[in-house]
């Protein structure tokens, strides 16, 4: 008999994990209330390998991107729906020093197949007095279309409801929800893990992010990155602009300050006619060490968390879905950099969970 897995959350990571589990023959039930302000819904779907602050490759970026591209492209063929596009990222160079640094980095091992440079790319109204840096391994997932497609493919496996912790019964060896036994329960709740009585002992550095779409006659049909991202929107003629980072507030209110910050990003690259057509926000489930939260509860062996991928969920979730399932099947140990055991100095308090029953 197939193992029964309960997945809580059908965002980017929950979708990738559920799909991989079903492909391996597991019986999956997915609980998701289609929360409109999840970071999955408001994400730009952006995937690229660079950390621009120091112009270095992000942690294992090429490995993760290679896996992610294969995952989304294979999925598109199987389902017959297109939601992933490979895209080059264009970065206007600000001055001669930045240009020299970019050109030097292009010659270094590991960057030769990732970075390029041009003085002749037409970015329409975007100012490029020192040329344009190019990142050639980027891509964009239409997150809305992807999540809707996955939800449809899961069919009756999805229960459109809010998870009720009072209905969860767990011991150190078994778990059930609303009286139904499951072999494992995996929480893929995004930032809501901070309210999960079994995993809220883990530290977090969640960030609020606001994004806007704008209309403009001056912007090109290309992905531009400079202190943020400006990307042609999936639908219509608007452009996605993102994103802000706010650590001191995790409310879901749209702010004039956020809108102004994002508009200023557009203005700084020379665009003067941008008009805001929409604004939204979400909370990123991010950690202080910028690594995912994956692992098994220290007391309840059938409860797991698969979370904490922040703004890189598009890039990380395909790779770590496979890795996590291999771990559940006893084929491998969890990567120590993502295992929640790295936070062992933070103590889970069993008494606090009991009080919620």
Q: Measuring CA to CA, which residue among 197, 229, 194 is closest to residue 213? A: 229
Does the pLDDT at position 355 exceed 50? no
Same domain, 130 and 153: no
Same domain, 175 and 232: no
Query: Residue 72's CB: how many other CB atoms inside 10 A?
Result: 21
pLDDT above 70: percentage of residues in the chain: 95
Same domain, 269 and 134: no
Given 237, 256, 284, which residue is the final one in a domain?
A: 284
Does the pLDDT at position 132 exceed 70? yes
CATH number at residue 221: 3.30.9.10
Q: Measuring CA to CA, which residue among 242, 247, 272 is closest to residue 259? A: 242
Same domain, 194 and 222: no
Same domain, 136 and 157: no
Q: Which domain holds residue 278?
A: 207-284
> pTM score, two decimals?
0.94
Q: Measuring CA to CA, which residue among 49, 46, 56 is closest to residue 102? A: 56
Same domain, 298 and 198: yes
Same domain, 344 and 326: yes
* Encoded tokens for 202: 């883990």
Asked if residue 310 lies in contact with residue 283, where contact means CB atoms within 8 angstroms, the answer is no
Same domain, 53 and 123: yes
3-class SS of residue 21: helix
Does the pLDDT at position 329 exceed 70? yes
CATH number at residue 194: 3.50.50.60
Same domain, 161 and 33: yes
pLDDT band at 357; cut points 50, 70, 90: very low
Q: What are phi and psi of 46, to 5 degrees?
A: -80, 140
**Range list of β-strands (E), 62-155:** 84-92, 115-118, 132-141
Distance CA 66, CA 73 (A): 11
pLDDT band at 348; cut points 50, 70, 90: confident
Please report the pLDDT score of residue 346 as a whole number. 87
Bridge partners, residue 223, by sequence: 89
pLDDT tens digit sequence for 291-308: 999 999 999 999 999 999
Given 284, 309, 326, which residue is the final one in a domain?
A: 284
Given 231, 263, 284, which residue is the final one in a domain?
A: 284
Residue 172 C-alpha from the chain's centroid: 31
Same domain, 34 and 56: no
Alpha carbons within 13 A on the beta-carbon side of 242: 22
Task: Provide mean pLDDT across the span 2-14.
Answer: 95
Same domain, 155 and 196: yes
Please report the pLDDT score of residue 344 as a whole number. 85
Number of domains in the chain: 3
Please report the pLDDT score of residue 188 as a whole number. 97
Same domain, 133 and 159: no
Distance CA 309, CA 13 (A): 8
Q: What is the pairing mode between strands 27-31 and 4-8?
A: parallel
């Amino acid at each position: 008999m197939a193992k029964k897995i309960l997945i809580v959350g059908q965002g980017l990571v929950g979708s990738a994990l559920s799909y991989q589990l079903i492909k391996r023959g597991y019986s999956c039930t997915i609980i998701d209330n289609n929360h409109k302000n999840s970071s999955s819904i408001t994400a730009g779907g952006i995937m690229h390998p660079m950390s621009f602050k120091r112009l270095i490759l992000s942690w294992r970026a090429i490995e993760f991107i290679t896996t992610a591209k294969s995952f989304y492209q294979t999925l598109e063929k199987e389902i017959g729906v297109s939601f992933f596009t490979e895209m080059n990222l264009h970065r206007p160079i600000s001055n001669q020093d930045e240009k020299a640094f970019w050109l030097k980095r292009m010659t270094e091992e590991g960057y030769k197949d990732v970075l390029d440079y041009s003085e002749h790319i037409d970015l329409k109204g975007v100012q490029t007095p020192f040329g344009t840096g190019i990142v050639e391994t980027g891509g964009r997932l239409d997150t809305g279309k992807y999540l809707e497609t996955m939800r449809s493919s899961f069919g009756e496996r999805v229960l459109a409801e809010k998870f009720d912790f009072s209905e969860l019964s767990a011991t150190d060896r078994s778990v059930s929800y609303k009286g139904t036994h499951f072999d494992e329960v995996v929480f893929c709740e995004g930032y809501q893990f901070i309210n999960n009585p079994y995993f809220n002992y883990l530290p977090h550095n969640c960030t609020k992010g606001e994004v806007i779409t704008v209309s403009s006659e001056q912007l090109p049909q290309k992905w531009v990155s400079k202190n943020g991202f400006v990307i042609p929107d999936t639908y219509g003629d608007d452009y996605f602009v993102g994103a802000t980072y706010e650590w001191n507030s995790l409310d879901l209110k749209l702010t004039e300050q956020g809108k102004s910050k994002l508009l200023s990003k557009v203005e700084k690259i020379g665009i003067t006619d941008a008009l805001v057509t929409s604004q939204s926000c979400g909370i990123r489930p991010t950690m202080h060490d910028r690594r995912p939260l994956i692992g098994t509860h220290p007391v309840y062996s059938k409860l797991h968390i698969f979370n904490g991928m922040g703004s890189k969920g598009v890039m990380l979730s395909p790779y770590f879905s496979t890795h996590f399932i291999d771990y559940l099947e006893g084929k491998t140990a969890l990567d120590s950099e993502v295992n929640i055991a790295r936070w062992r100095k933070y103590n889970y308090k069993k008494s606090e969970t009991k009080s919620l029953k």
